[in-house]
Structure 1
Amino acid sequence: MRIDLHAHSTASDGTDPPGELAEKAAAAGLDVVALTDHDTTAGWEAAAAALPAGLTLVRGAELSGRWYGAEPTVGLHLLAYLFDPGHGPLAAELARVRRSREQRAERTVALLNDGGIDVTVPEIREYAAGGTVGRPHLAQALIRRGLVETVSEAFAPEWLGRRYRLPKADIDAFTAVRLVNEAGGVSVLAHPRASSRGHIVPDTLIAELAAAGLWGVEADHTDHTADDRAHVRRLARDLGLRVTGSSDYHGTNKTVRLGAFTTDPSVYEDLISAATGTVPLVGA
């Protein structure tokens, strides 16, 4: 089985609508794909409706988390799988973060305007196509103006990586793990050593999250070196965490392809056994 547990659609910052993402996953030879849009479940229904025969859909989300136990604080991403989307406290936190994303986009547009760059909020929302607003949509505005050529270039320090980067109201990391567990889901820490994305998540923090109920950690990821992947695997073994691998596919916003990294079938079986919030869907 080929299992990719981390992919994004236009419900957040991917470029493929959820239904097309499901079709592309099947065409890429995947048996299982997880839809993990940022802080939203908005793409679940469309992906399920377009599910090709034989492809299994794992419904999930990538939560924007933050550890407030250090200065500066540490941002992290938590992959939540097979949770109950009707769980009130978790749904409320996701809604709060989405509102914060909208507000951050508005403030970033104002900052860009102050820097002499003529960008508008309606334009950014148009790029988001009704999905969760993120920095890639701001990047599209810079690309359209010829200021950068790619999303990766737009995330450089002189642009959205630092100069025009503003914070959003993330979920406390320990609260996020607890809420996912309460919603019957399974939580996996995404790309913990992807230094290009910001802070490396400290091993000591991962150990604390494991003690608080974290289920697994993503080791095989395009932003991890071979040494990073080996380090995460050793740490997971020591902490009793499961290890996953995923593409973190974003369509044309990144060069990585679906199935670039995959998860061992035995880990996937453990995941679906552990979850009680919802179940995978299989295309008929």
Structure 2
Amino acid sequence: MRIDLHSHSDVSDGTRPPAEVVRRARAAGLDVLALTDHDTVAGWDAARAALPEGLTLVPGVELSCRHEDRSLHLLGYLFDPDEPALAGELARIREHRVNRARTMVDRLRALGAGVTWERVRELAGGEAVGRPHVARAMVEAGVVGTLDEAFTGTWIGHGGRAHVGPYPLDPVRAIRLVREAGGTCVLAHPRARRGYAVGDEAIGELAAAGLGGIEVDHPEQGPDDRARLRDLAAGLGLFTTGSSDDHGAQTGDRLGCETTSDEDYAALLASVPGASEPLTRS
């Protein structure tokens, strides 16, 4: 099977509607796709309704956490979205995302950047406003030439003049919330280019707290990091995943560019403490 366990739609910071994401996944030859929008499950129903024959949908979310005052992301899978504690935390994260983005826009404007909150909201479309939408507005306004330039210490990168810190959800607590809601967690892109490089000791602490796996094969993680993470996962008894982290046109429509093995997918399913099942077309 061809399995991609990390993708985004336009209900967060992707550019394609959920229905189009699942159709494109099948057209790309995928058998299994996880929809993991940032801090929201708002795309699940539309993806389920449009699920093409031959594609299995793994409902998920990418949780925004804070570790050592830096962003750390966890992929949660197959949990009950109506479980009150997790649902409440997701709502608080989304509220903070809006406030964070608005404060960054205010700081950019104070610096003379011609970015408006109205345009950032238009770019976001859905409820999960984030830094990528601010960055896209910055490129449109000619403040920076590229998205990567926006995410530097000069602008909205960590320590930047317009940066605002992430929501303070502790990743250990996040793992517990997802597990109590019947799901399982994978550490997303711990050595990705833009992200905070999560150290081996911190990953060990997350494993002890119930982390199921580590996202190893990711477009923004090089061969050395992948080898190190694979060895670390084996030593901690964690499975590994491979995923495109596709955001539609923003990332070049790369669904299926990295995939998860059948064995690791089976390990992920075995790590789910609840009774949730991936979704197929009925």
TM-score bracket, normalised by the shorter chain, equals over 0.9
| Contact 1:191 1:224 (8 Å CA) reproduced | yes
Residue in 1 that maps onto 2:153? 157
Point out where structure 1 has 5 or more consecutive residues left out of the alignment. Answer: none
| Contact 1:74 1:201 (8 Å CA) reproduced | no
- TM-score, normalised to structure 1, is 0.94
Residue in 2 that maps onto 1:11? 11
CA distance in 1, matches of 2:127, 2:95: 12
- The residue type equivalent to 2:85 in the other structure is P
| Contact 2:63 2:73 (8 Å CA) reproduced | yes
2:266 alignment partner, one of 266, 269, 274: 269
Percent identity, please: 54
CA distance in 2, matches of 1:220, 1:175: 25
Secondary structure of the residue that 2:114 maps to in structure 1?
Answer: coil
CA distance in 2, matches of 1:170, 1:73: 8
Residue in 2 that maps onto 1:92? 88
1:120 alignment partner, one of 98, 116, 123: 116
Deviation at 1:120, TM superposition (A): 2.2
| Contact 1:217 1:244 (8 Å CA) reproduced | yes
Secondary structure of the residue that 2:190 maps to in structure 1?
Answer: coil
CA distance in 1, matches of 2:45, 2:86: 19
Residue in 2 that maps onto 1:62? 62
* RMSD (Å) for aligned C-alpha atoms: 1.5
For the pair 1:172 / 2:159, whether they are aligned, the reply is: no
CA distance in 1, matches of 2:40, 2:275: 16
For the pair 1:135 / 2:131, whether they are aligned, the reply is: yes
Q: Deviation per CA, 1:62-106: give whole Å up to 9, x if none.
A: 001123xxxx43431100000000111111111111000000111
Deviation at 1:61, TM superposition (A): 0.2
Q: Deviation per CA, 1:115-147: give whole Å up to 9, x if none.
A: 112322222111111230011111221122223
Secondary structure of the residue that 2:57 maps to in structure 1?
Answer: strand
Q: Deviation per CA, 1:185-207: give whole Å up to 9, x if none.
A: 0100011122x324211111111
| Contact 2:113 2:143 (8 Å CA) reproduced | no
Query: How many residues are matched?
Result: 279
Q: Deviation per CA, 1:8-33: give whole Å up to 9, x if none.
A: 11111111111111111011110111
- The residue type equivalent to 2:94 in the other structure is R
Q: Deviation per CA, 1:254-274: give whole Å up to 9, x if none.
A: 236111110011211222233
Residue in 1 that maps onto 2:99? 103
Residue in 2 that maps onto 1:214? 211
CA distance in 1, matches of 2:80, 2:24: 26
- TM-score, normalised to structure 2, is 0.94
Residue in 1 that maps onto 2:200? 203
CA distance in 2, matches of 1:112, 1:66: 23
Deviates more, 1:146-155 or 1:182-191: 146-155
| Contact 2:64 2:166 (8 Å CA) reproduced | no
CA distance in 1, matches of 2:118, 2:275: 36
CA distance in 2, matches of 1:34, 1:51: 12
CA distance in 1, matches of 2:25, 2:261: 17
Secondary structure of the residue that 1:156 maps to in structure 2?
Answer: coil
CA distance in 1, matches of 2:180, 2:109: 43
CA distance in 2, matches of 1:147, 1:75: 24
Residue in 2 that maps onto 1:255? 252
- The residue type equivalent to 2:115 in the other structure is V
Runs of 4 or more above 6 Å deviation: none
| Contact 1:183 1:277 (8 Å CA) reproduced | no
Q: Deviation per CA, 1:173-225: give whole Å up to 9, x if none.
A: 1100111111110100011122x324211111111111111111111111111
1:146 alignment partner, one of 142, 145, 155: 142
CA distance in 1, matches of 2:183, 2:226: 25
CA distance in 2, matches of 1:173, 1:64: 9
| Contact 2:66 2:166 (8 Å CA) reproduced | no
Secondary structure of the residue that 2:127 maps to in structure 1?
Answer: coil
CA distance in 2, matches of 1:135, 1:73: 16
Deviation at 1:148, TM superposition (A): 2.9
